Structure 1
Amino acid sequence: MSPSSPTEVAGRLANRFDEDNLPYAIGGALALGVWGVPRMTSDVEDIAVFAGEGELDRVFEAVERAGAMVDRNEARRAVTRAGFFVAHLGRTRLDVFMAHHPWHAEMQKRRVSLATPEGRARWFLSAEDTALAKLIYARPKDIEDLQRLFTVQAGRLDLEYLRHWLPLIVPAGDTRLVLFDDLVRRSRL
């Protein structure tokens, strides 16, 4: 039987990654929830796997053993083009990101192991890396998530970490740098 919720899908993926010693971290709406900003979601929009392209087949195998469907040829092209691939487990879309940027090495070091209500340990992106991922995409829903995250985590976010990495990822003068400054200013009001 297919898992019915994104939380169950993420748990199934995490189990397979743990079995295969593939380091990972859950991000997106599920990570927002652990940092105090719950939001409904119908997908698993951000699972980071800290493995090189040479381990892509191992990642595909783990995702498939979790019950998801992967078009391996398209997934390879997507990883080369955009750094992530899409899989589907039932009706749930999975966005699986492969480590490809120096920031990802820091992200792996900063991930946090948290117990689920069932008592299973799961790796989640830190609050800062969750914020940084949201800043990179800066879609309307990401901006709403960021406003809530900066409010809930005010005084606890490592702003220097964000100030270090954001300019290394987005170009100078980018509106996301202005967005970050605005989020910091508003969270201090």
Structure 2
Amino acid sequence: MSVVSMLTPGISMNSFEATAHVVTQLEVQRVSYMLVGALSSNAYGIPRATKDADIVVSFDSIGVVEFAKSLGVGFKLDRQMRMETITNSIRNIITYTPTNFDIELFRLSQDEHHKERFQRRQRRWLEEIKREAWIPSAEDVVIQKLRWKRRKDLDDAENILAVRAKKLDWDYLNHWTMIHNTNDLLKQLRDECPNLDVLDEE
């Protein structure tokens, strides 16, 4: 399937079309990336609404300012850099102004799991943006959600455990959650899951 967007910059898009346009431009510019956040957990669990899109990027020959300019009309870069405290990733926000939708770009950091999940990323069809894109593995989504520990992240992690429990690499999950001191939380969420035999569909 072609990665070339059928959308023309400058023509009004909805928020997910704007996200698809950003993904297309990342691939055109040959920037390595993966979609994270709700869009990645929705691919493996029970979909929920989201008010933004999160993307881990590894810029090489192009910088964030140049990349933002390549997106065209309607995309505004906040040049103030922020630090994400768990993985020490630098974050920039690009806002698609017609819908006031934030697309957050997180730089690939030197955090060991951050690097590992980037290497393990998978290409999958994402229904919201109507195209294939790179996302973390289901295990890596769960591991990162447990690090955040916000209620919505724990709900996402539990949904993935419920839907995909039989297909998950539990040795890998236990390895990283032991390192992050979140293994007890993983066990708790698994115990709280509904009937896995019913929900594990794939």
Q: Sort the TM-score into its range (normalised by shorter chain).
A: 0.7 to 0.9
Query: Partner of 2:190 in structure 1?
Result: 184
Structure that is richer in helix per residue: 1
* Aligned pairs for 1:21-60 within 5 A: 21-44=30-53, 46-51=54-59, 55=60, 58-60=63-65
Superposition deviation, residue 2 in structure 1 = 4.0
C-alpha contact 2:124 2:135 (8 A) present in aligned 1: yes
Query: Partner of 1:61 in structure 2?
Result: 66
CA 1:56 to 1:154, structure 2 compared with 1: closer, same or farther past 3 Å?
same
C-alpha contact 1:79 1:98 (8 A) present in aligned 2: no
Q: Distance in 2 between the 1:66 and 1:26 partners? A: 17
Q: Distance in 2 between the 1:24 and 1:138 partners? A: 24
Q: Distance in 1 between the 2:150 and 2:84 partners? A: 23
Q: CA RMSD in A?
A: 2.6
Gapped regions of structure 1 (runs ≥ 5): none
Q: How many residues are matched?
A: 176
Q: Distance in 2 between the 1:64 and 1:80 partners? A: 24
Residue 66 of structure 1 aligns with an amino acid whose one-letter code is L
Superposition deviation, residue 85 in structure 1 = 2.4
CA 1:80 to 1:180, structure 2 compared with 1: closer, same or farther past 3 Å?
closer
Query: Partner of 2:160 in structure 1?
Result: 149
TM-score for the superposition, normalised by structure 2: 0.74
Query: Partner of 2:94 in structure 1?
Result: 87
Superposition deviation, residue 159 in structure 1 = 2.1
Superposition deviation, residue 71 in structure 1 = 2.6
Q: Distance in 1 between the 2:84 and 2:62 partners? A: 14
Superposition deviation, residue 17 in structure 1 = 0.8
Structure that is richer in strand per residue: 2
Query: Partner of 2:144 in structure 1?
Result: 133
Q: Distance in 1 between the 2:131 and 2:170 partners? A: 30
2:78 to 44, 60, 71: 71
1:13 to 15, 22, 28: 22
1:76-128 superposed Cα distances (whole Å, 9 cap, x missing partner):
xx148741222211211122111112223221221111235687431112111
C-alpha contact 2:45 2:156 (8 A) present in aligned 1: no
Q: Percent identity?
A: 27
Superposition deviation, residue 187 in structure 1 = 4.4
1:26-68 superposed Cα distances (whole Å, 9 cap, x missing partner):
1111112221421111211x211134xxx49623322342243
Larger Rg: 2
C-alpha contact 2:22 2:71 (8 A) present in aligned 1: yes
Q: Distance in 2 between the 1:50 and 1:181 partners? A: 33
CA 1:161 to 1:63, structure 2 compared with 1: closer, same or farther past 3 Å?
farther
* Aligned pairs for 1:94-173 within 5 A: 94-100=103-109, 101-116=111-126, 120-168=131-179, 170=180, 172=181
